[in-house]
Amino acid sequence: MDILQIFLSESFWAASLRIATPLIFGVMGALLCERAGVLNLGIEGIFAAGAMAGWMAVWLGAPLWLGVGAAACAGAFFGALHATLTVPLGLSQHVSGLGITMLATSASYFLYRTALPDVTSPPRITPFQPLNWPVVSDIPFIGPVFFGQTALTWLALFTVLAVWWLLARTPLGVALKAVGDNPDAVNAQGLSVYRLRFGAVMAGSALMAIGGAFLTMSAFDAFFFGMVNGRGWICIALVIFASWRPGRALFGAILFGMFDALQVRLQTEAGAVVPSQVFLMTPYVLSIIALVLVARKADYPRALLQPWFKGQR
């Protein structure tokens, strides 16, 4: 199989989109937070919390969509904690975010172990199934790539559209962007900087958690330790790569999914000649290269990382 054949295969594109799905949720969540001026390094832990909460809810008998809701609530909870620390208290966003990652990850693992003390093979749930709608699924290429996905992938694509529409077309979106650029101006307009930032961080964190839930409720059918495996950090890199634009973030996530899918296929092909680890490294190396290329002309939200206090300039 040569590279051209890989690019022509349906399974490659379907895999790319599947791998991109949690990243799309994560990068949209991170983008919302950062557009409002709050960096959320809690994402790696919020992914774990979402994966855990979604899986646990379904395992306890909830319907799948209620599991997604449970994940979103878990994400919003940790988002609220991060927002409390960084918005009114104005504490270091870097440190608070890392703290959230540690807290959410260890809390998820602790809960899982407490619920299932002696289980060696993780119990399985029935995850979201591929849509496989009649007629459209039979369309060559488009059918398997798009309609062979689960509902969560569609939700991810819809989320991109929703975030784009929110930021570009609604007064709320204008206010959100302004609060990440110039909170003083927003305050002068009589809007609450605190409320806008709180809302953005909670909503963004809920999205991140749904990305985590995709892992346990669609990609796999169980929760296991270390399953997030750095995906959260990749999302942080992707936001910068995307210059805080939803469309480019979608592009970046799918590009990353392609590299990852390509890596698996090349590995089986060239595994004998090149150590498999070289391929495992490439997504991370490419992320760093993309960061360096984009960093120079990056259009940061100007108030990113800067605390704002009411009545104090």
| Nearest to other proteins of 152, 237 (CB atom) | 237
| Nearest to other proteins of 9, 282 (CB atom) | 282
Spatial distance between the Cα atoms of 234 and 240, rounded to a whole number of angstroms = 10
Phi, then psi, of 123 in degrees rounded to 5: -65, 145
Residues 6+ apart with CB under 8 A from 5: none
Report which residue type is found at 214: F
Phi, then psi, of 118 in degrees rounded to 5: -115, 20
| Nearest to other proteins of 101, 149 (CB atom) | 101
Q: How far is the CB of 303 from other proteins (least distance, A)?
A: 16
Q: How far is the CB of 284 from other proteins (least distance, A)?
A: 5
Q: How far is the CB of 215 from other proteins (least distance, A)?
A: 17
| Mutual angle of helices 276-295 and 246-270, in 10-degree steps | 160
Q: How far is the CB of 98 from other proteins (least distance, A)?
A: 6
Binding site for other proteins (CB under 8 A): 41, 81, 85, 88-92, 94-96, 98-100, 102-103, 105-107, 109-110, 113-114, 117, 230, 233-234, 236-237, 240, 275, 277-278, 280-281, 284-285, 287-288, 291-292, 295-296, 298, 309, 311
Q: How far is the CB of 96 from other proteins (least distance, A)?
A: 6
- Using an 8 Å Cβ cutoff, are 175 and 160 in contact? no
- Using an 8 Å Cβ cutoff, are 108 and 52 in contact? yes
Report which residue type is found at 268: T
- HSE toward the beta carbon, residue 219, CA cutoff 13 A: 23
| Nearest to other proteins of 96, 159 (CB atom) | 96
| Nearest to other proteins of 157, 278 (CB atom) | 278
